[in-house]
Structure 1
Amino acid sequence: MSDPSAPVSSAPASTSARRAWIAVLARTPRADLEAALQRALNGAPLPAYDWLRPPETGLAMVRGRVGGSGDAFNLGEATVTRATLRLRGTGAGQPGDDQPGADAPVGVACHLGRDRRRAELAALADALLQLPQHHPHLHEQLIEPLAARIEAAREARRQDTADTRVEFFTMVRGD
């Protein structure tokens, strides 16, 4: 998965940019995602959408590598939740946008855990970020703050780990 701290392009068409914002959405807790999405939409109701694949929970095999680069092996299974939806109309949330259009974006989400609402919100945010009229505002109000929060938590974990590092050395005894 892409590094959420990497700079994300503000152009909605880039595959790497979409991969980066999906990674940010997948790592964001539901409460933070819900609050940030409501702030970004300025309290407006969520746009109408149709489920292509409602949130469903299942297992995914987690693979590891010996020494990080050696032979792959099955480490175990992890619970994941995924969802796919299509915005109705243009997704602008205006009256008359009740019918799904051919150009309506499809939002996807997949994350570790069993939280169906979190998958719904992430898929909705992904679909809205694909719309040129919503992308710049949502990117600035939703993705950038969440990515900064994820990076701050990662840096705090790095610092905590560095604080517990022990360096061993050997003293040579004189003859």
Structure 2
Amino acid sequence: MGQADGTLARHAWMGLLARSQPGRLAAAVEALGTPPGHDWLRAPEVGAVMVRGRVGGAGAAFNLGEMTVTRCALRLASGEVGHGYVQGRDKAHATRAALVDALLQGPRAAEVEAGVLAPLRADEAARRDLRAAKAAATRVEFFTLQRGED
């Protein structure tokens, strides 16, 4: 895997960790066993970021508003560095996300992929499917009985 592929993969798993349900992430991390020791590079802290938007996806950028986020960074005893950024004020969620990010860069990556990321992907897909089913239930199909063409 090239550096660009690795960067894209890390981007994807960090997004998944940030979007995950805090309880599900906690259960998945707990199932891995005792978390390895780590040192804080940046202890969990709560702050705000400006959310920007674009009209139509291509228009001029505008400030939509602020969003609360929690971030942290840690270094495992083995040297891998992990970062966690999550929406809201959940310091434990950010810590778990950073821990998983660091573990995915080390020798336990395959175990963490199977034990943490795979279940979180399944949960996210199930939530997406449920949302799509709810939207489909309100869909109205229009049809004509006669088209007016003779």
Partner residue, 1:149? 123
Alignment: residue pair count: 145
Partner residue, 1:139? 113
Unaligned runs of 5+ in 1: 1-8, 91-103
The structural deviation recorded for 1:145 is 1.1
Q: Which residue, out of 83, 86, 92, partners 1:117?
A: 92
d(CA) in 1 for partners of 2:62, 2:139: 29
Partner residue, 1:26? 18
Partner residue, 1:66? 55
Q: CA RMSD in A?
A: 2.2
TM-score with structure 2 setting the length: 0.87
d(CA) in 2 for partners of 1:76, 1:167: 37
- Higher RCO, 1 vs 2 (CA within 8 Å, ≥6 residues apart): 1
d(CA) in 2 for partners of 1:145, 1:161: 24
Q: Which residue, out of 105, 112, 131, partners 2:80?
A: 105
More helix per residue: 2
Per-residue deviation, residues 68-98 of structure 1 (Å, max 9, x unmatched): 332221111111111100011x2xxxxxxxx
Per-residue deviation, residues 20-71 of structure 1 (Å, max 9, x unmatched): 11111111122111110111x2x3x211101111111111111111133322
d(CA) in 1 for partners of 2:101, 2:84: 8
The structural deviation recorded for 1:165 is 2.7
Unaligned runs of 5+ in 2: none
Kindly, what percent of the aligned residue pairs are identical?
A: 50
